[in-house]
Amino acid sequence: MTEEMILNSVRENKKRIKKALLDRDMTQVELSKLLDVNPQVLNRAVQGDMSPRSLEIRHSINRVLGL
């Protein structure tokens, strides 16, 4: 994967999460409470951080939001 492809994938994932939150009238802070994670840590995961913890959080986000 090229760097550009990775960046496009990160942007698309971020858009999907943001749209799902808007559709549910939910904020990232509310989602962070639901997942029992710090809001800053959740935001890092949404922004595309590639740490193992962020990958785990994104998996949980996708599960909770049905993505």
* DSSP of 6-59: HHHHHHHHHHHHHHHHHHTT--HHHHHHHHT--HHHHHHHHTT--SHHHHHHHH
Q: And the tokens for 41?
A: 């840590």
47 within some domain: yes
Query: Domain for residue 12, yes or no?
Result: no
With respect to residue 36, please indicate whether it lies within any of the assigned structural domains.
Answer: yes
pLDDT on residue 1: 64
Say how far apart CA 14 and CA 47 lie, in whole Å: 6
Within a domain: residue 24?
no
> 4 lies in a domain?
no
Interval 31-52 mean pLDDT: 93
Distance CA 50, CA 34 (A): 22
Q: What is the mean pLDDT of residues 33-39?
A: 95
Task: Give the pLDDT score at 5.
Answer: 83
Residue 7 belongs to some domain of the structure? no
Between 3 and 19, name the one with better pLDDT.
19
Provide the residue range defining the domain that includes 53.
29-67
Q: Average pLDDT in the 46-64 region? A: 92
User: What percent of the chain shows pLDDT beyond 90?
Assistant: 70
Number of domains in the chain: 1
